[in-house]
């Protein structure tokens, strides 16, 4: 399988799936040599702001598209596998707190990457 076969184009753009909900597909990650697709869910909150669940790779055009919908207010790393691109978003979206699965902040790989975790998910 070629890496591009593991994606769902168009990539790095928000695609509406329901009122106030979008998905963003991104280039695949390689897990033990197997290309695995990457998908983020974007949820518009009651105040108009956005929550990015399992952020994909950062792209300036994607940020611009999302900010036309609403300000990015929260970043969520929902489990120990879906944090890879959080730091990229933290670097470009100042002030958005990061929520993560309990214990993620203690993983050596996460600490080395410099990911800031502000709150644990309950």
Residue 20 pLDDT greater than 80, yes or no: yes
Residue 34 pLDDT greater than 90, yes or no: no
The pLDDT of residue 86 is 97
The pLDDT of residue 27 is 84
Structure tokens at 36: 């695995």
The pLDDT of residue 28 is 83
CA distance 3 to 14: 21
C-beta separation of 57 from 40 below 8 A: no
Residue 103 pLDDT greater than 90, yes or no: yes
Give the side-chain half-sphere CA count within 13 A for 61.
5
The dihedral built from the CA positions of residue 88, 41, 62 and 10, taken in this order, carries a sign that is positive
Average pLDDT over residues 94-101: 96
CATH 3.60.15.10 assigned to 3-120: yes
Residue 63 pLDDT greater than 80, yes or no: yes
Alpha-helix residue ranges (DSSP H) falling in 4-113: 60-69, 86-92, 108-113
CA distance 17 to 8: 14
Q: What is the mean pLDDT of the chain?
A: 94
Average pLDDT over residues 40-67: 98
Residue 1 pLDDT greater than 70, yes or no: no
List the domain boundaries for the chain: 3-120
Neighbours of 21 (CB within 10 A): 14
CA distance 79 to 59: 22
Average pLDDT over residues 24-38: 88
């Amino acid at each position: 399988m070629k890496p591009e076969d593991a994606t769902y184009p168009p990539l790095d753009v928000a695609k509406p799936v329901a009122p106030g909900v979008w998905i963003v597909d991104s280039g695949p990650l390689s897990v033990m040599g197997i290309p695995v697709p990457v998908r983020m869910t974007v949820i518009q909150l009651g105040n108009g702001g956005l929550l990015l669940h399992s952020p994909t790779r950062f792209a300036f055009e994607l940020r611009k598209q999302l900010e036309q919908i609403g300000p990015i207010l929260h970043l969520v790393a929902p489990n120990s596998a879906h944090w890879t691109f959080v730091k990229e978003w933290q670097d470009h979206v100042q002030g958005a707190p990061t929520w993560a699965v309990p214990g993620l902040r203690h993983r050596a790989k996460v600490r080395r990457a410099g990911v800031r975790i502000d709150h644990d998910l309950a």
